[in-house]
Amino acid sequence: MAKNLALDLEGTLWVSLGTTLYPRPGLYGFLEFVYRSFDQVGVYTLLSEVRAKGAVQVLVDQGFAPPVFLERFLYICGPGGVKDLNYFPDTCLEETWILDDSPQVIPLTQRDRWVQIASFEPKERCQSAFGSIDPQPLDQELARVQKRLAQICGLAD
Ligand SMILES: [Mg+2]
């Protein structure tokens, strides 16, 4: 069975404050895991495609995200407001999950497809780490989520 994952961006993978992006510690390795483990990875965000891709470009250029994030960039065009996974192209609902920090964007009928993650809140130590290149240790929440996604993919610990 194919496995597909839709990724929220803001609050899930990073937080943007003004023009600065604060990536979750360990984002690089997490995204490598995601692209290695899932057949298709889509970006499902309330940001426009241009803004989303621009942010991904910045993170790749700065070494916080692997090039595959840009090379296989797949933007999911949904109806807006909620993130209906039926809009993930060439997939079916039973094979598709979404990683998101916002309960309100998940349709009630698709709660079983939702992998919840606590919103990232950058702290001072993250700011001081900004500018350095991964590998950084995963933050605890990202580590927990990675285990959950590995279970979904049938990967042993
Ligand atoms: Mg979010």
Task: Check residue 131 and give its pLDDT.
Answer: 52
Q: Burial, 154: exposed, middle or buried (Cβ in 10 Å; 0-12, 13-18, 19+)?
A: exposed
Residue 64 covered by a domain: yes
Amino acid at 58: V
Residue 11 covered by a domain: no
Asked if 120 contacts 28 with a C-beta cutoff of 8 angstroms, the reply is no
Tell me how far the alpha carbon of residue 5 lies from the centroid of ligand 1, in angstroms.
15
- Tokens 């595959």: give the residue: 68
Task: Check residue 19 and give its pLDDT.
Answer: 84
Residue 36 covered by a domain: yes
Residue 6 covered by a domain: no
Tell me how far the alpha carbon of residue 10 lies from the centroid of ligand 1, in angstroms.
4
Residue 124 covered by a domain: yes
pLDDT tens for the 157 residues of the chain, in order: 899 999 999 999 999 988 889 999 999 999 999 999 999 999 999 999 999 999 999 999 999 999 999 999 999 999 888 999 999 999 999 999 999 999 999 999 999 999 999 999 887 444 444 554 444 566 889 999 999 999 999 986 5
Residue 100 covered by a domain: yes
Tell me how far the alpha carbon of residue 95 lies from the centroid of ligand 1, in angstroms.
22
Tell me how far the alpha carbon of residue 46 lies from the centroid of ligand 1, in angstroms.
8
Structural domain harbouring 67: 27-130
Tell me how far the alpha carbon of residue 134 lies from the centroid of ligand 1, in angstroms.
22
Residue 9 covered by a domain: no
Residue 12 covered by a domain: no
| CA-based R_g, the chain, Å | 15
Asked if 14 contacts 127 with a C-beta cutoff of 8 angstroms, the reply is no
Tell me how far the alpha carbon of residue 91 lies from the centroid of ligand 1, in angstroms.
22
Task: Report phi then psi at 149, rounded to 5.
Answer: -70, -35
Task: Report phi then psi at 56, rounded to 5.
Answer: -65, -40
